[in-house]
Amino acid sequence: MDVCLRCVIAFPVIWGWDCQSRFSFFVKGARVLILLLGPSGVGKTSIIEEMVRRFSWTPLMSYVTRASRGRDFKIHVSHQDFECLAKYGKLWSDVTQLGERYGTSKAEVTLALQGQHEFCILDFSLTRRQEFFSHVPHLPVVVMPESPETLADRLKSIGREDRVRSAQEEMCLLEEIREDPLRAREYRFVVNRTGELDTAVSAIRGHADEWAKRT
């Protein structure tokens, strides 16, 4: 069997989501697709974990070629396997960052957009959102740190110094967006302060509920 086909078949069996449980979710579908945006180290993975645990939201997994960092809602594959997935049209998105490739499953996004009852959440690139999601309904939520300095310190503390520069560049872009009323109104902004994860989670749930009522 072709290696990329093995990846596709194995895809649902991750994070305790066996094939049957994922199929049951997609039969119900998704009422709201939330794109969680923001620089590395701002706490997006922790937020997704809490949305899944507290509210039974469904995370959309992504294929990545970088090394695993533990529980991060990613399926880690080789560059060869990723290229095979792209070649056979299995990816909704294909983004390269710092030499690594990130791709969202086309099947998962398509199925999530067909439903009526549940919430899906995906960690995605701020700079590539328009390219891949401008034509589908979704709620873009930007997670902000307390300050650029706090974010830089956090990245260094977890051994991700290589991400400091790109995170600072993304923070500059976010400030530009927030200062432009026309661009800012597309997004919901949430600050994830140290020790206040509950506040950020509640804010995101509130934004999602409000958006769902209007769509």
Query: Per-residue pLDDT tens for 48-63?
Result: 999 999 999 999 989 9
DSSP 1: -
- pLDDT, position 118: 79
Handedness of CA 82, 138, 134, 69 (dihedral sign): negative
**What is the rounded distance in angstroms from the CA atom of residue 81 to the CA atom of residue 41?**
27
What is 3-214's CATH number, 3.40.1360.10, 3.40.50.300, 3.40.720.10, 3.55.10.10? 3.40.50.300
Handedness of CA 14, 31, 86, 127 (dihedral sign): negative
pLDDT in tens, 100-150: 999 999 988 888 887 644 799 999 999 999 999 999 999 999 999 998 888
- pLDDT, position 196: 94
- pLDDT, position 153: 87
Mean pLDDT of 19-42: 66
Decide: residue 135, CB within 10 A, 0-12 exposed, 13-18 middle, 19+ buried: exposed
Residues near 167 by beta carbon (within 8 Å), at least 6 away in sequence = 39, 40, 41, 42, 151, 152, 155
When mean pLDDT is compared across 2-11, 111-120, 152-161, the lowest value belongs to 2-11
Q: Is the pLDDT at 25 greater than 50, yes or no?
A: no
Mean pLDDT of 194-208: 95
- pLDDT, position 19: 39
Q: Is the pLDDT at 88 greater than 90, yes or no?
A: yes
**What is the rounded distance in angstroms from the CA atom of residue 194 to the CA atom of residue 201?**
13
pLDDT, averaged across the chain: 83
When mean pLDDT is compared across 21-25, 34-38, 44-48, 195-199, the lowest value belongs to 21-25
Which has the higher per-residue pLDDT, 19 or 160? 160
In one letter, which amino acid is 198? Answer: D
Q: Is the pLDDT at 7 greater than 70, yes or no?
A: no
